[in-house]
Structure 1
Amino acid sequence: MSARTRPIRRIVILGGGSAGWMTAAALARALAGQGHAITLIESEAIGTVGVGEATVPPIHDFNRYLRIDPAEFLRATNGTIKLGIQFDGWGGRDASYFHPFGYLGIEMGGIHFHHYWLRHLAQGGAGDHAPYNLETLAARAGRFAPATRHGPVHHAVHFDAAGYARFLRSHAEAGGVVRVEGKVAEVRLDPEDGFIDTLLLDDGRTIDGDLFVDCSGFRGVLIEGALNSGYVDWCHWLPCDSAVAMPSERQGDPPPFTRSTAREAGWQWRIPLQHRDGNGYVYSSAHLDHDDAVAKLTDRLPGKALADPNRLRFVAGHRRVIWNRNCVAIGLAGGFLEPLESTSIHLIQTAIIRLLALLPRDGFDPGIAARFNRETINEVERIRDFVIAHYALAGRDDTDFWRDIAAAPIPDSLAERIAVFRATGNILFEPGDLFGPTNWYCVLAGQGVRAQSWHPIADGLAPDELARRLATLRGRVAEQLSELPPHTAYLASLAR
């Protein structure tokens, strides 16, 4: 990519939805008072993809940056609390486990708690690690408050994605972002360096810019349609390429967790909101046709359907070049991972944070774009491995889909993680990884992976001392749990 030296004053965002309005709101906040012109182009006729209704805890960091009040946010989006994900049918057809937020136990002697737990299990101890994680017990009991006397309750949120976009639009427009209704008919490039100069709308208007952010979804109008950035396809590892989504009436009190149920050709999600349930079936079209997927999801809805099914088609992977010339792809325009671990909104968020950190002032240096691309791809590859682990360790052979999954290859990086854990109990992770030791341990153990050993430091406690410490930790978690009100009572308090 060539360099271009030109002051960057006009930023154009193509596409609304969560990706577009998150980007617009963050840029408006970061550049407030500096005279930049930020324009967002979207068309009500195109619509958006709303699969990102469940999140992970760092969403709170993003909202705090925008100075969003948590109660106002949950009210505006009909949001509920998420303490983790209940996985049913993963690790065996009748298996069930919970992947929580927060931490399992506490570090002792400089090593993670799960090493002491592995020793405890090997010596005949009880096998349920849930009493050492507050978020798991709170999810089971349907309880929540942001904190107890001993510290925070780690949580994310479920929200209406369309409501979140509308909410952020109000913040962005208050910060000076100008919304333009329209569709792009043509992208005009500089004939000398291939950079984007102008977007021609279908009504003849032109939008000039210096930096363009592509939030146009799977179509990638700028990053792919105009700049031919290419795509890295991960379908050999993640064969699900379709989804059908459908909201349904709320049934009972909303639980403070997401549910993921393994099905015959993929998996089904259930996301509780205050006013409805979000439901979807992610599946492989090579193993299930669309009409059958719709029928199966409809039959399994927890309540009456509230809308017609919405079909999505996708290819797991990412653009080969995500920052290309003066265009940065964010959200589905940059790549896609199925929402098994609710990472879609998070990847939008981290891309925005990375863009803000590397935002150029007066030109485009190839080294900046290369750094952005390298960090973005490294991040999504590590999350990819976590998602693939669920499939690779599912222990299912009851349908063609699961038999094909069992025979499929896995990335070398994931194979190394699993092998190291099985042999030593160690969990390989990098600083800054979204999913750390507690996440990996709960998923690996939940899906039946057993470690043959543990860290030698864990042998330093005498058996009676280890038992005493475990009892103390259980008691502390139980005390914290007793302080938490019902999840529904917390939600009701938001309306005051």
Structure 2
Amino acid sequence: MTESSPTRYVIAGGGTAGWMSAAALARFAPPGTSITLVESDAIGTVGVGEATIPQIHLFNRALGLDEGDFLRATKGSFKLGIEFDGWLREGEAYMHAFGSVGRGHGLMPFHQYWLRAQALGIAKPTAAYALNEQAARAIRMHRGPTQNGPPMPYAFHFDAGLYADFLRAFAEGRGVRRVEGKIANVAQHGESGDIAALELDGGERIEGDFFIDCTGFRGLLIEGALAAGFDDWSEYLPCDRAVAVPCENGGEFTPYTRATARAAGWQWRIPLQHRIGNGLVYCSRFMEDDAASEMLLANLDGKPLGDPRPIRFTTGTRRAHWKGNCLAVGLSAGFMEPMESTSIHLIQSAISRFLSVLPNGRGGAATRDWFNAQSRFEWERIRDFLVLHYTANAREGQPFWDHMRAIELPDTLQAKIEAWRANGHIHREHEELFTEVAWFQVFAGQGVEAQGRNPIADALPEPQLRQLLEQTETAIAAEVRPMAHHIDVIKSTIGTRTPQELPA
């Protein structure tokens, strides 16, 4: 390949990661770019990542996808946040809701005034001041502009397999070539060690200039061929197994994900138009596989639509997500528990970062180093946020949760907790994914108490503080009252009054 010739991209593996990569390249790569995706119908995908965060809008809009078409094709529903049930204590729940909580005053963010009000005994739980949580609890939502500001942020629940199919049609319609077959060998250049071609079990050889590894946990290219290395984070996040099963619709058709703490892990509940996605994440040191399946089946809202499917994983990340002429995307890059719905976002983030420095060939060392440093930072900060959920628990007497309270925290998380405890300070470092508002909701919900606050918050006279809280709560209640029910918003979005398979 010469510097002026179009790059030949080869994507190894399909699923959500593969077809998101293919669709993005098909949309944004220069004319003449060759894009080939190799996958085998005989190899399944993990396919349990059905919940997202609001950044998914950026990806779908960049591709030009219509929201109605997308929801119709993927059997999707809306998501306003994530409820954490029992993570502090059994029977107590809080929500990490998207969007703002309260409103600041002057120089100070709302949480500083909330801390002062809490000390005075006049603060209500954060839910009272969060539009998304109030709407979610009422099973209502609104897609357009709100009465008092911009549209409320929302994400989606959807069938990940159907999303991959939707993107496949998009990508193939724009020239992406799909090749059916299993990868039998990864051929490498003798001198550089770069990947030269994928050799399939039927004898076909797929040559390329740049390769994207979407082969899942195997990391067939990034690890199997290039030995990028893997950093195991089990010391912080020891859950190593999951069982997943969909069930018939039942219970409330909630516009939020539910994560329920269980004896040795947690259970997810994700409502779709045609079913509910369920799974139990657990630590095999504290729970047997059969017990995990029994616990999952005993806590479904409807009849199971199959047998629980086991999944084994190790939480952690590749030491290099981009090595030589290969980029790892999705599970080939690493694994994070899905409690905060970051799996699909990490695919999207990797693709976006890659497109910002799209190489003509393998890319330079400086570019790869930058990419890997940015990826490392992002993954570590997400890891810290997940660890906080586990370690700040009060589920005393349960061996798994007792163990999690006692683990040694990453230095970066310890610093964040100490800053919060000292004076309620939350600092969003660079472009880490989770905002100050997200950290505030989890600190408050998990009972991590701040010992002090910024003294500037004390300058607001108490009557004005009370007024700030009361007006915020009243405005949110007035905003939520006329909102449509979740199911009616879906019906209007997908363009039919009687869509089949929707919950009653």
TM-score interval (norm. to shorter): over 0.9
* Cα distance in 2 between the residues matched to 1:236 and 1:481: 43
The yes-or-no answer on 1:407 pairing with 2:415 is: no
2:71 to 70, 74, 83: 74
Alignment of 1:210-229 (within 5 A): 210-229=209-228
Contact kept in structure 1, 2:196 and 2:209, CA below 8 Å = yes
Match of residue 7 from structure 2? 9
Q: TM-score, normalised by structure 2?
A: 0.95
* Cα distance in 2 between the residues matched to 1:463 and 1:16: 58
Contact kept in structure 2, 1:51 and 1:339, CA below 8 Å = no
Shift of 1:127: 2.5
The yes-or-no answer on 1:495 pairing with 2:492 is: no
* Cα distance in 1 between the residues matched to 2:362 and 2:345: 28
Alignment of 1:199-210 (within 5 A): 199-210=198-209
Note the alpha carbon deviations across 1:180-223, whole angstroms, 9 max, x for none: 11110011100011000011000000000000000110000000
* Cα distance in 1 between the residues matched to 2:311 and 2:417: 32
The yes-or-no answer on 1:331 pairing with 2:333 is: no
Alignment of 1:427-438 (within 5 A): 427-438=426-437
Structure 1, unpaired ranges of 5+: none
Contact kept in structure 2, 1:422 and 1:452, CA below 8 Å = yes
Shift of 1:344: 0.2
Alignment of 1:131-146 (within 5 A): 131-146=128-143
AA in 2 matched with 1:136: E
Match of residue 456 from structure 1? 455
* Cα distance in 1 between the residues matched to 2:437 and 2:5: 45
Shift of 1:459: 1.8
* Cα distance in 2 between the residues matched to 1:284 and 1:8: 47
CA 1:6/1:364 → structure 2, altered by over 3 Å: closer, same or farther?
Answer: farther
Alignment of 1:277-316 (within 5 A): 277-316=276-315
Contact kept in structure 2, 1:425 and 1:455, CA below 8 Å = yes
* Cα distance in 1 between the residues matched to 2:280 and 2:4: 47
Q: Which moved more, 1:222-231 or 1:128-137?
A: 128-137
AA in 1 matched with 2:356: A
Q: CA RMSD in A?
A: 1.4
AA in 2 matched with 1:121: Q
Contact kept in structure 2, 1:269 and 1:279, CA below 8 Å = yes
* Cα distance in 2 between the residues matched to 1:303 and 1:362: 51
Shift of 1:358: 1.3
AA in 2 matched with 1:107: G
Q: Which moved more, 1:218-227 or 1:6-15?
A: 6-15
Shift of 1:300: 1.4
* Cα distance in 1 between the residues matched to 2:136 and 2:275: 19
Match of residue 162 from structure 1? 161
Match of residue 20 from structure 2? 22
Note the alpha carbon deviations across 1:346-375, whole angstroms, 9 max, x for none: 000000000001111255211111111000
Contact kept in structure 2, 1:90 and 1:262, CA below 8 Å = yes
AA in 1 matched with 2:385: F
Note the alpha carbon deviations across 1:242-278, whole angstroms, 9 max, x for none: 1000000000441001000111111000000011000
Contact kept in structure 2, 1:249 and 1:275, CA below 8 Å = yes
Q: TM-score, normalised by structure 1?
A: 0.97
Alignment of 1:24-173 (within 5 A): 24-31=22-29, 34-147=31-144, 148-150=146-148, 151-173=150-172
CA 1:133/1:165 → structure 2, altered by over 3 Å: closer, same or farther?
Answer: same
Shift of 1:5: 6.9
Shift of 1:7: 5.0
Contact kept in structure 2, 1:85 and 1:257, CA below 8 Å = yes
Shift of 1:469: 2.2
AA in 2 matched with 1:112: P
Structure 2, unpaired ranges of 5+: 497-504
Note the alpha carbon deviations across 1:375-434, whole angstroms, 9 max, x for none: 001001001000000011012233221222122211011111111111110112224222
Note the alpha carbon deviations across 1:418-464, whole angstroms, 9 max, x for none: 11111110112224222111111111111111112112221221111
CA 1:241/1:355 → structure 2, altered by over 3 Å: closer, same or farther?
Answer: same
* Cα distance in 2 between the residues matched to 1:265 and 1:469: 41
Contact kept in structure 2, 1:112 and 1:437, CA below 8 Å = no
**How many pairs are equivalent?**
492
Contact kept in structure 2, 1:8 and 1:211, CA below 8 Å = no
Any idea what SS the aligned residue of 1:225 has? coil
Match of residue 439 from structure 1? 438
AA in 2 matched with 1:156: A
* Cα distance in 2 between the residues matched to 1:213 and 1:304: 39
* Cα distance in 1 between the residues matched to 2:252 and 2:490: 11
Any idea what SS the aligned residue of 1:306 has? coil
Shift of 1:8: 5.3
Any idea what SS the aligned residue of 2:484 has? coil
Note the alpha carbon deviations across 1:284-341, whole angstroms, 9 max, x for none: 1111121221111111121111022211111101011110000000000001101010
* Cα distance in 2 between the residues matched to 1:39 and 1:446: 46
Any idea what SS the aligned residue of 1:315 has? coil
Contact kept in structure 2, 1:253 and 1:488, CA below 8 Å = no
Contact kept in structure 1, 2:16 and 2:163, CA below 8 Å = yes
Note the alpha carbon deviations across 1:116-141, whole angstroms, 9 max, x for none: 11111111203322221110000110
Shift of 1:51: 2.1
The yes-or-no answer on 1:197 pairing with 2:196 is: yes
AA in 2 matched with 1:212: F
